[in-house]
Amino acid sequence: SAVISQKPSRDICQRGTSLTIQCQVDSQVTMMFWYRQQPGQSLTLIATANQGSEATYESGFVIDKFPISRPNLTFSTLTVSNMSPEDSSIYLCSVELVALTGAGYTFGSGTRLTVV
Amino acid sequence: GENVEQHPSTLSVQEGDSAVIKCTYSDSASNYFPWYKQELGKRPQLIIDIRSNVGEKKDQRIAVTLNKTAKHFSLHITETQPEDSAVYFCAASIQAGTALIFGKGTTLSVSS
């Protein structure tokens, strides 16, 4: 099964700064997904990243705040820009292991972000 | 878009009892329904899933049932053990390659 490496695992950042989170998959995948999990809450989809095109953002999330790169089929980054304490969350990337074959979706280990 | 409702938000059972968590979805086009277990400080882990062409699926002590007509699916855990204590999330997706939409989660506590 595919392995996802996500980094950093955690960071403490000053408000007004930006943090870029990296997600590396050990096999090629068409779509990569970015989620936010606020403390004690469920996973909320931020955006879907397709290689070669702009990411598709969900309602409530905008590209200026959460720019995403997808330079190839195994890598993506999510940047949290101009951070405020409300951005303190766990951010997770996810991929579907093998589309159409029911192999399921797996998650990176997450990035725990604290904004002070 | 898809909306997934999950109940109950918390569930406490005695070791050996059964636990049932229920989810409903809004989009009749959804065809993939996984369940994830998330332990404190860890990533969600897939425990079982079902596709819309199947009504029930079992894997040892866990099972998932799907009612397409009513647009709901359920997770059943039998003979619960303290290590089953965690947060469980249901999810749904419309088709392969699209994102999962999650329910709000159920905190299961199994006391010995």
CA B2 to chain CA centroid, nearest Å? 16
Q: What confidence tier does A98 reach under pLDDT thresholds 50, 70, 90?
A: low
A99 contacts in chain B (CB < 8 Å): 96-97
Mean pLDDT of each 10-residue bin along chain B, 112 residues long: 95 98 96 96 94 91 96 98 98 87 98 95
- Flag if B98 and A100 touch (Cβ within 8 Å): no
Mean of all residue pLDDT scores within chain A: 92
- Quote the pLDDT of residue A103: 62
Residue-level pLDDT at A100: 43
Q: Which of A30, A108, A109 sits opposite B97 (nearest CB)?
A: A30
Contacts of B49 in chain A (CB under 8 A): 102, 104
Mean pLDDT computed over A92-101: 75
* CA dihedral for A76, A41, B94, B85, sign (positive or negative): positive
Cross-chain Cβ contact B43/A109 below 8 Å: yes
Q: Which residue of A has its CA nearest to B107?
A: A40
Phi first, then psi, for residue A10 (nearest 5°) are -160, 155
List of long-range contacts for A18-21, beta carbons under 8 Å, 24+ apart: A18/A79, A18/A80, A18/A81, A18/A82, A18/A83, A19/A79, A19/A80, A19/A83, A19/A111, A19/A113, A20/A77, A20/A78, A20/A79, A21/A77, A21/A78, A21/A79, A21/A80, A21/A91, A21/A93, A21/A111
Phi and psi angles of residue A69, each rounded to the nearest 5 degrees, phi first = -115, 150
Q: In B, which residues are within 8 Å of A44 by CB distance?
A: 102
Q: Do B51 and A110 touch (CB under 8 A)?
A: no
- Across chain B, mean pLDDT equals 95
